[in-house]
Amino acid sequence: MMLHCKYNIIFILSYLLPLLSVAQSGIHPGGKTVTARFSIPSGYQRIDTTPAPFAFFLQHLPLLPSKTPVKFYDGVPNTSCRPAAVIDMEIGDKNLQQNVQTAIRLWAEYLFEQQRFSAISFHINNGEIIPYEQWAQGMKLVINRKTYWTKTPSNPRQYQTFRRYLNFIFTNSDFQTLLQDIELSTATDISPGDILISGNDTEPYVAMVLDVAVHQDTGEVIVLLVSGGNPAQSVQVLQNTGKNTPPQAWLPVKDGVLTVDKMVFPLTSRYRFRL
């Protein structure tokens, strides 16, 4: 009887210990949204997003089940990528929604959800601004890269119309067009929705601040970052997997920079989409 109890205890511990480890890491595999999946470390407090609806939208993005792999647009898993989580958002089957375009997608999805159709507007490579409502009425791009109007309007409230518009924008956008749609943040503190850039104009990597927490005593700031990749792949919550630190999703701001593996994001240049 004692031997049987001993094995029962071992079995229970083998089941509970991984769960305790997960709980201590602050990642809850069953959580279906950002706030449910990633708890705040002890001593920190998540910033209030009540007056900032885009921040609330980002904090409540839906997540795919824990351990879901990042996949390229063609469905092939990206085995070299170790995300903290994968956002539940399709990216299509073409190499369009790359790293830069992921920031555009998140902002556009928020505006579409809010039915702020007139605010959905992005630059394309020929320098023109393409408003979503006008595009839905028939604006198209021709070979000489000028715009014109057709007589085949679509309903801007239909999500399929919205996705076709985004694919059009993604096809004709890059880092330089993104710079025309964003501006330096005037806020004192970092907040969800801020756009951070690592690298240079030749090889930029764009990430968006997904969530922010502040230590109640020291004032230390930690953040979650979300991004895509090149070529196009799943939208993911970034995780620091460097050799000198254990894997972690919450990233500390140190000396005015955020570091994720080999990428350094200076906070002196934080951007927001223009309203």
**Amino acid 13: pLDDT:** 35
**Rg value, the chain, Cα:** 21
Cβ contacts of residue 20 below 8 Å, gap of 6+?
A: none
Q: For residues 148 and 130, is the Cβ–Cβ distance under 8 A?
A: no
- Supply the pLDDT for residue 192: 96
Q: Is the pLDDT of residue 18 over 60?
A: no
CA 3 → CA 6, 7, 8, 10, distances in Å?
Answer: 5, 6, 9, 11
Phi, psi (deg, nearest 5) at residue 242: -60, 160
Specify whether the CB–CB gap between 232 and 91 falls below 8 A: yes
Distance in angstroms (rounded) separating the CA atoms of residues 248 and 83: 10
Between 128 and 20, where is the model more confident?
128
3-state DSSP call for residue 101?
Answer: helix
Mean pLDDT is lowest, of 6-20, 182-196, 229-243, for 6-20
Nearest alpha-carbon partner for 126 in 192, 91, 171, 87: 171
pLDDT of residue 142: 66
Q: What pLDDT sits at residue 275?
A: 84
Asked whether the predicted pLDDT for residue 252 surpasses 70, the reply is yes
- Using a cut of 0.75, tell me whether the model's pTM lies above it: yes
